[in-house]
Amino acid sequence: MRSWLATLLSFSGITLAVGGGYAMGGGCGCGLPPPPPPCPPPPPMPICPPPPPPCPPPPICPPTFCPPPPICPPPLPPPPPPMCPPPPPPSPCGYQTAMLPYQPPPQPSYQVAPSNDCCCQCGSPCRFRGRARTHGARIFSALAAEVDEDPTCNNEKLRNIITENIDKDPTISKRAIQSAAEEKLFAKINVICGKEDFSYVIYTDTYCQATVGEVTCYAFRPLGPGPAEEN
């Protein structure tokens, strides 16, 4: 029993010695590395700035009051009626002045423009209605009257122009007659030409209708400003 206890103690001493040597850095000449340094403490959390102050309330606008509209002045009273002139003084001899009777203004006189009512190759008679005139300077205010003029032609110059320029083609005839008539008569002349029947009523004082072959042409000067041509 003693020998077993001595063996156990000796073995425990060796173990303690060996363990102590390792613990003190001994044993085989190389010890364990030192433990790592402790981690640094985390940085402090940033402190948030305080919230900004609240916005100031909007300014309160003062109430606006529109001024009342100006009062229009009352309209002016109408002017007084004109004063009647005083009556004429009495006659020194005792006679009273005679009052003239009221005379209405003269009525304007109207005159109907001269017109030529005729046709080509028809049975109706042609006629010319013009203003009634006297040989003097006075003109009567009759509306219309038949005058002693040829209802088919009242201008010999215009008749000669038509017969000299008429052609078998009505279109060529009307243009040639119009050009020659305006050049010789110094006025605007309208021309109608055709081979068939045609009828017309025209306000004019210078006119002429002539037929050559199968073509009939009627030329006239419309009423308006322009030099008048005599027969």
Kindly report, residue by residue over 183-226, the tens digit of the pLDDT.
999 999 999 999 988 888 888 889 999 999 999 999 999 987 54
Q: Which residue has the higher pLDDT, 162 or 131?
A: 162
Write the burial class of residue 162 (CB in 10 Å: 0-12 exposed, 13-18 middle, 19+ buried): buried
What does the block give as tokens for 174?
């009307």
DSSP 46: P
What does the block give as tokens for 36?
């790592």
**Whether residue 151 has pLDDT greater than 70:** yes
Tell me the range of 37-51, 96-110, 131-145 where mean pLDDT is highest: 37-51
**pLDDT over 70, % of the chain:** 63
- Of 15-19, 98-102, 124-128, 154-158, the least confident: 15-19
Contact predicate 118/152, CB 8 Å = yes
Residues 6+ apart with CB under 8 A from 139: 131, 133
**Whether residue 131 has pLDDT greater than 60:** no
- The amino acid sitting at 110 is Y
**Whether residue 22 has pLDDT greater than 50:** no
**pLDDT over 90, % of the chain:** 25
pLDDT band at 139 (very low <50, low <70, confident <90, very high): very low
- The mean pLDDT value of the chain amounts to 74
Q: Per this entry, what is the length of the chain? A: 231
pLDDT of residue 141: 34
- Of 54-58, 64-68, 121-125, the least confident: 121-125
Ranges of beta strands (E only) in 49-175 are: 115-120, 127-130, 145-146
pLDDT of residue 218: 93
* Measured distance CA(198)–CA(119) in Å, rounded: 6
pLDDT of residue 163: 95
* Measured distance CA(223)–CA(111) in Å, rounded: 14
pLDDT of residue 117: 77
Mean pLDDT within 135-157: 57
Q: Domains, the chain, ranges and CATH? A: 115-222 (3.30.740.10)
* Measured distance CA(163)–CA(159) in Å, rounded: 6
* Measured distance CA(218)–CA(128) in Å, rounded: 14
